[in-house]
Chains A and B, each alone.
Chain A
């Protein structure tokens, strides 16, 4: 069966460029999360969607980061004017219901900013 799909798997950007990372959650999953994982660290929460509503964006590190899920399925994480400290793996996860359930993670998008 189809799991959580993320694209691109790898992205190299020059400092100052804008990037967009896509997440296709498991069909029918209500909840969608974005996490940032630096090398050797645990995933850091960025934002949470319940259907199309962004209920928590407290983890977004700056106003250069923006996420949307306009139709309650596919989500996009956009990073404007990328900086070297943005280099990390960006993980998307979905879960069937509201919060507190098991999270199903995608393979992640590895962003390298030169």
Chain B
């Protein structure tokens, strides 16, 4: 079945450093979503990418969707303590009612 993998599993950075998490799918995705889950909280939607090669920015966050629509990345510039949490990518298959989540990357930021 379809699998969505993320690396790294954990990232511990100094406040002000950059952070990147990578997402890879075993199958082509119709689109990809990113969610953030704060400790003890629930996943909150960040963005959806649909087009091959698409790049979207939200303030310090940059999201990319690969040309083959099988991979994606999230880059955070100059991390802040408020960025702490686990970042999940999630992909829809072409013929599925399932949104499959990756295993997540947990970001810890040292003040």
A interface with B by C-beta (< 8 Å)? 33, 35, 41-45, 48, 50, 55-56, 58-59, 91, 93, 99-100, 102-108
Contacts and interface: CB of A to CB of B under 8 A. Distances in A.
Contacts of A59: 98
A42 B3 CA distance: 12
A42 B104 contact: yes
Given A43-B101, A56-B97, A100 B42 contact: no
Interface stretch (B13-21, B43-51, B63-71, B75-83): B43-51
Nearest to A42: B101
Nearest to B102: A42
Nearest to B31: A100
Given A41-B103, A42-B103, A99-B92, A107 B42 contact: yes
Contact of B99 (A41, A55, A58, A103): A103
A50 B6 CA distance: 29
B31 A105 contact: no
- 9 interchain residue pairs of minimum CB distance: A42-B101, A56-B97, A105-B42, A48-B97, A102-B45, A45-B98, A43-B101, A42-B103, A42-B104
10 contacts: A35-B101, A42-B6, A43-B88, A45-B98, A45-B100, A99-B96, A103-B35, A103-B45, A103-B99, A107-B41
Contacts of B48: 102
A44 to B, nearest CB: 7
Given A100-B30, A100-B31, A45 B42 contact: no
Contacts of B98: 45, 48, 56, 58-59
| Of listed B31, B42, B104, residue having the most chain A CB within 10 A | B42
B12 to A, nearest CB: 15
A106 B42 contact: yes
B99 A91 contact: no
A4 to B, nearest CB: 9
Contacts of A55: 97
B33 interface: yes
| Of listed A48, A105, A107, residue having the most chain B CB within 10 A | A105
B97 A43 contact: no
